[in-house]
Amino acid sequence: MTSHFTRRGPTFKYHFSIHVSAVTLRDGVQTPPDAAFSVAWKRGEKLATTSPLAASTLLIACEQTLSLVCTMYKAPPQGGAGVFASKDSSLTLLQGRAGRPLSTFKQLGKVQLDLAPYASIEETRSERKLVLLHDGVPVADVALVISSRWLKNFGRVRGESANDLASSRAGSSGSSGWPTADEDTQSECASDAASDAGSARSEAELDTDDEIALMEAQHKQVKSVRPPGKPPAAAKDSSRRLPRLRFGLRAADASASLEEWRARAEAAEEARAAAEAEADEARACVAELRRQLEEAEPRLAAQADQAALYDKLLADVEALRAEAHRRDEEGVASALALSRAQEEAAAARREAAALREEAEGEARRRGEAEAESCRLGAAEASDGEAARRREEAMAAEVAEARAEAAAVRRELEARAAEVEQLRGTERAAVLQMSREVASRRAEAHATVAQLERRALLFASLAEEEAAGESARARRQWREAQAKREEVVHALADALLAEGKRWNAAGDTAAARGFFEQSYVLQPRAVALLSVANMSLKLCERETAAELYRKVVAAAEAGGEAGGVRMAPPNDKELAMAERKLVEALGGGEAEGGAPAAAEEEPLDPLSLERQLRLRLSAEVVRLQAQLEQTRGEGAPAERRGDGGEASAGSQLEAVLTQLHRAKAETARALREKAAMAKELLQQTRLQRKAKEQRLQLREANTKLEVQLLTQGGAERRGGEARAPAAPPAAEVEGDEAEAMLHQVLQEHAERVMLLTNENHELRAQLIALEAKMAEPRA
């Protein structure tokens, strides 16, 4: 029969190896963090891949070798020896996720590689660097080492030799009529029409030395069944005829590929069905999301209204802050005006003293001048003209001195009026300062009263809850009350320990908040002493003194402190309260033996005024003594003769210079006083604002406690109404009440921590705002 296959030129088997050194990704290639890569080398149906490679940078180290066996075809000679036809293969860079199979990897870049230039008689080794493309865009560079080795056993089947191969490679490149490497997947061995002994395998399917050896054995078997000297037609006996050889490995590979493609088609169909199901689910999810969005629109509108209300409240707060800032500026301006008035009063007093001294000096000089005139008149009675001139001069000087004395007297009267006016202003300022001290004491009483109200409220809620219980559950309530007292005691101890920890960390305000919560849960002298100590550290002496008085009063009344029942303080706590009370009132010393830290407490305006007055009085007395001493030293010089008046004038100028210097020092002292008064006012305002915020936070905390306890009692009473009357159910109800109490106390502690943190944040914002407000004034 006629063969359906086309005969090709001489064929040679080559073993090609590609050693992949490294792959370098180009800049701009985006990969996920857990990306993995693999290099695939494919020729026809043959495929070789590397193991998955991880990449932490753009450089991917590989150092793996890929191998394939390929059939090389040689063109017929055209005026000389032929060369190998092109043998195209592809090199692909795959990308996927680490830990997943290679079948899930996707193609990232690809390049075509012709194997014909690397086929030779001897083993070859070439280093190459190829560029991988994705839709014509370079994505990576791969460094390769390509090696080839000729399988010589293939020549025994085809009758080729190394000499034929060498002579063929010396020829031209061949004509375009010969088949290319893409066609070798369809080629098979040509069938001999005259021979019925069977057919040999295709050259393209002989890829290994074992297959070549099998082909030689079949040829020998065919030759052994043919009698010598007979044509091939003589061997037609069916009993001695060899069966035809089956199709080679390419046919089997084609069949396997067909089955694989069918399996892939079925898998693709299943994937398509799954994708449609997922699309239906996605559409259902979209519809559900739309429905939820429609339902959420009213809530979003309500939230928008709440946000608008919140913005309005913020605007109101900003307006209040601006008003407070304006009032602070007015207070600072009034303080500055008061300081200026005090400076003017001091200057007036100094000028009055100076004028008084000048008048006294004039009077003394006038008396001395009159005595001198009498002496000169007696001494110069013989010289009438000279005596008259001197008497006229003396009379003129006396008249001038009297006029100056009258002017000085009028000036003194005016200065005295101004001094009286300034003293009135000073008395008004002192009255304002005393009112400020009284307001601070009132705030201390309000703080202590609020703390007592919170403790009483907590205790009264527990009593009301006990009174509201039914007769059936009173016994259970007493048992639960005992457990509750244990839990409250443990929580109070925990809050006390937390306050000590915050005190050790340096946050005195937070520590006082924890101590107050401990006292509200369980009134004890140690908690009240801790609150008083923290108030003393925060320079709130009035509040601390009031709390220490409560502890002393509780010891005298046997545990009653302002209507709050607590255990009487022991001797140690009582001694500490008495000692701290003396310290808070300003008559004690600190625990370490050193005086109380007066630098931390705000300056007392009355004591400051007294200190400044004493300093100014001492300075004036010193200057007056120095002036009298200077005049006493200058009096003998005036009595010595005509040159005495010049010496007295120089001494007077020196005294006036010293008076001006003293006036400058006094002005500087007054400026320091004004600065100290300004700082005092600012510190007082800050303390007042901080106290107001702490009172607001305490009131909010008390409201939350009342709400939580009321809600817990209502839930417990509702549970009793629904529960059966059996004793086991009552026990379960008691356990539930205890668990609910634990939960309420835990929520209470969490809210206390939240309010403490908010207090810290508000305090930080207040400090920042005060600093920002102080910047324009600086």
Tens digits of per-residue pLDDT, 591-642? 333 333 333 344 444 455 555 556 666 666 666 666 666 556 555 544 554 4
Three-class DSSP labels, 238-296:
CCCCCCCCCCCHHHHHHHHHHHHHHHHHHHHHHHHHHHHHHHHHHHHHHHHHHHHHHHH
Q: Identify the pLDDT of residue 215.
A: 54
For 23, list phi and psi in degrees, rounded to 5. Answer: -125, 130
Q: Quick check: is 595 in a domain?
A: yes
Q: Is-contact 405 369, C-beta < 8 A?
A: no
pLDDT digits (tens, 9 = 90+) for 544-554: 888 888 888 88
Q: Identify the pLDDT of residue 28.
A: 86
- Best-predicted range by mean pLDDT among 191-200, 328-337, 743-752? 328-337
Q: Identify the pLDDT of residue 24.
A: 92
- Best-predicted range by mean pLDDT among 22-31, 51-60, 425-434, 620-629? 22-31
In this predicted structure, the answer to whether residue 507 has a pLDDT above a threshold of 70 is yes
Q: Quick check: is 763 in a domain?
A: yes
Of 268-282, 352-366, 450-464, 604-618, where does mean pLDDT reach its minimum? 604-618
The candidate with the shortest Cα–Cα distance to 148, out of 87, 94, 90, 203, is 87
pLDDT digits (tens, 9 = 90+) for 253-262: 667 777 888 8
In the chain, what percentage of residues exceed pLDDT 90? 11
Higher pLDDT, 378 or 4: 378
pLDDT digits (tens, 9 = 90+) for 652-693: 566 667 667 776 777 776 777 677 667 767 777 777 777 777
Angle at the Cα of 287 (from 283 to 293), degrees rounded to 5? 140
Q: Quick check: is 327 in a domain?
A: no
pLDDT digits (tens, 9 = 90+) for 393-405: 878 877 877 787 7
Q: Quick check: is 761 in a domain?
A: yes
Q: Identify the pLDDT of residue 319.
A: 82
Last residue of a domain, one of 162, 188, 214: 188
Mean pLDDT within 262-285: 88
Cα–Cα distance list, 333 to 10, 341, 425, 687, 689 (Å):
113, 12, 15, 20, 20
CA distance 574 to 552: 6
In the chain, what percentage of residues exceed pLDDT 70? 57
Higher pLDDT, 718 or 32: 32
In this predicted structure, the answer to whether residue 22 has a pLDDT above a threshold of 70 is yes
Count of structural domains, the chain: 2
Q: Identify the pLDDT of residue 166.
A: 38
pLDDT digits (tens, 9 = 90+) for 469-482: 455 566 677 777 77
Last residue of a domain, one of 137, 156, 188: 188
Total Cβ atoms within 10 A of residue 206: 27
Last residue of a domain, one of 153, 169, 188: 188
Q: What is the CATH number of the domain that holds 95?
A: 2.60.40.150
* Residue span of the structural domain in which 744 resides: 437-606+679-777
Q: Quick check: is 180 in a domain?
A: yes
In this predicted structure, the answer to whether residue 358 has a pLDDT above a threshold of 70 is yes
Mean pLDDT within 52-73: 88
Q: Quick check: is 149 in a domain?
A: yes
Total Cβ atoms within 10 A of residue 21: 14
In this predicted structure, the answer to whether residue 49 has a pLDDT above a threshold of 90 is yes
**pTM (whole model) above 0.75:** no
Structure token pair of residue 762:
């508000």
Q: Quick check: is 87 in a domain?
A: yes
In this predicted structure, the answer to whether residue 93 has a pLDDT above a threshold of 80 is yes
